[in-house]
Amino acid sequence: KAGVTQTPRYLIKTRGQQVTLSCSPISGHRSVSWYQQTPGQGLQFLFEYFSETQRNKGNFPGRFSGRQFSNSRSEMNVSTLELGDSALYLCASSLAIGEGRNEQYFGPGTRLTVT
């Protein structure tokens, strides 16, 4: 079974630009979560989508947004990029079978550098 895939793997953008990152979950997984990883703040939850609906949201400004498509693929968008948005963005998928085991499987990440 193919794992979680993320595109692109590396990205360099300029302050003020916007960026869209893509994530394809493991086949059959309906939940997709996004995380930001930086040396200073560690791993922080951005948001989670299930059946095209955002179910959970972390403490990030509105510049960070996302969506999920009917095939469970997800995109996240960051508008008006700031230097502090430079990070590794990780996507994770899970079966989301309710209150029980929701083990998340992580993709390779997208390394975003803002200059």
Partner 1 sequence: ELKVEQNPLFLSMQEGKNYTIYCNYSTTSDRLYWYRQDPGKSLESLFVLLSNGAVKQEGRLMASLDTKARLSTLHITAAVHDLSATYFCAVDITGNQFYFGTGTSLTVIP
Residue from the set 50, 67, 73, 86 that interacts with partner 1 by CB under 8 A: 50
Question: Could you say whether residue 96 binds partner 1 (CB under 8 A)?
Answer: yes
**Which residue stretch of 15-23, 39-47, 61-69, 70-78 sits at the interface with partner 1 (rule: CB under 8 A)?**
39-47
**In the complex with partner 1, which residue's Cβ is closer, 14 or 99?**
99
- The answer to whether the beta carbons of residues 48 and 31 sit under 8 Å apart is yes
Among 7, 17, 27, 56, binds partner 1 (CB under 8 A): 56
Interface with partner 1 includes 66 (CB under 8 A)? Answer: no
Spell out, one character per residue from 68 to 87, where the chain touches partner 1: x when CB under 8 A holds, - when not.
--------------------
Give, in order, the Cα–Cα distances in Å from 114 to each of 17, 23, 63, 87.
9, 20, 15, 9
Sequence-ordered strand ranges (E) for the chain: 5-7, 10-13, 19-24, 31-38, 42-50, 53-57, 64-68, 74-78, 87-94, 105-106, 110-114
